[in-house]
Amino acid sequence: MALSPLRLVYSLTPADRRLYPKEIGFSSVSMAYSLSASKLQTYHRCAFSYYVRYERKVNTNQFFGTAALGTAIHQTLAQAHRDWHYQEPLPALDWFLSCWSAQAQDLSPTQVEEGRQLLGFYYDRFIASQVSLHRPLAVEGRIQASLQVENLEFSLTGRYDRLDYAEDGLELIDYKTTKEVKLSHPEEMDLQIGLYYLALEQVYHQTLRGMSLLYLRTGERVRYEATPEHQERVQQVIADLAWKLRHETEWEPQPGSHCDRCAYGRYCAAVSESPVPLPEGCAAGRGNLQLVLSF
């Protein structure tokens, strides 16, 4: 009778890890290390900034408040696309406005009217021009997948506004309520697409074909094609990150135009002639690792 592998899991603190050399003979050392598109983009932009923010967990005084209007718009579109009965080719604009009434109760009168205008614009630009509206695979979803690199287990996480069926795969839809069309750097967008490509294929067993950004204030649609090369690129970046995590090497700064808006410049030798030490009490390293023994 064949026996399944026995897996014993132990938690090691960063200090404990130094007591266990690779020659100990364990078949694998893994950990559930959470990675999102924004974290990968930060690492690609500057390894030192990533280290200070996510490894040492240094807080900043910067505060980004939640835009109540934008949140209500996203919730309205999620409800409208999720709860429509799809027994007719297209819903009326009144359907979107009724969903808006349910989501806008805590907004000011000015915000309520602005939201009605945005939804009317969205309807005219992205709904009324269609022959029929199709039910999405999911709305306001959260996706999670896993990847093992350098004996480390990564948990890939992401959120999306809408996930549609495409002709031969899947299409990601992301709503934008900014007043101007502001696009991410192409390499950072490639990483975001690659992470979703990898995760969606693992979860839904379907291929991501594209990602569309819908700018609600301007009516513009910016679409990016998704290819296997995006997945390969994100795997390369994760492999580079895994090597640093596994071997605890130096996290070198990568100077560039992004330094002007970096919140960690005072700790960085590439920006400051006399960088200040990292604050005491910050995390000295990652959280617990899981040591997995397979027999």
Domain's final residue, options 76, 100, 127: 127
- Domain check: are 24 and 75 in the same one? no
Mean pLDDT per segment of 10 residues, for the chain of length 295 residues?
A: 35 40 35 83 88 84 60 96 96 97 91 95 95 96 87 88 94 92 86 94 94 94 95 91 79 85 84 83 52 39
At residue 281, the pLDDT reads 62
Q: Are residues 18 and 118 in the same domain?
A: no
In this prediction, residue 76 carries a pLDDT of 98
Same domain flag for 281 and 181: yes
Do 142 and 100 lie in one domain? The reply is no
Q: Does one domain contain both 251 and 146?
A: yes
Kindly state whether residue 132 falls inside one of the protein's structural domains.
no
Per the domain annotation, does 133 fall within a domain? no
State how far the Cα of 291 lies from the Cα of 29, in Å rounded to an integer. 5
160 domain-assigned: yes
Stated pTM of the model: 0.74
Claim to verify: residue 101 and residue 167 sit in the same structural domain: no
The predicted pLDDT at position 212 comes to: 96
Amino acid at 233: R
Residue 274 lies in a domain: yes
Q: How far is CA 218 from CA 113, 117, 119, 130, 189, in A?
A: 17, 12, 12, 18, 21
What CATH code is carried by the domain that includes residue 19? Answer: 3.90.320
Nearest to 82 by CA among 159, 142, 160, 140: 140
Which residue, of 105, 127, 149, is where some domain finishes? Answer: 127
Task: Looking at the structure, tell me whether residues 226 and 107 fall in a common domain.
Answer: no
Is 17 domain-assigned?
yes
**Do 201 and 55 share a structural domain?**
yes
pLDDT of residue 31: 54
244 in the same domain as 169: yes
Q: Which of 127, 151, 168 is the last residue of a domain?
A: 127
Q: Which domain holds residue 73?
A: 68-127
Residues 152 and 234 in one domain: yes
Residue 80's pLDDT is 98
CA distance 253 to 270: 7
Total domain count, the chain:
2
Residues in the chain: 295
Measure the CA–CA gap between 204 and 98, rounded to whole angstroms: 32
Residues 122, 72: one domain?
A: yes
20 inside domain: yes
CA 199/CA 145 separation, integer angstroms: 5
Question: What pLDDT, on the 0 to 100 scale, is given for residue 288?
Answer: 42
Residue 1 lies in a domain: no
With b for 16 or more beta-carbon neighbours within 10 A and e for fewer, the 249-261 pattern comes to eebebbeeeebee
- State whether 277 and 168 are in the same domain: yes
Tell me if 157 is assigned to some domain. yes
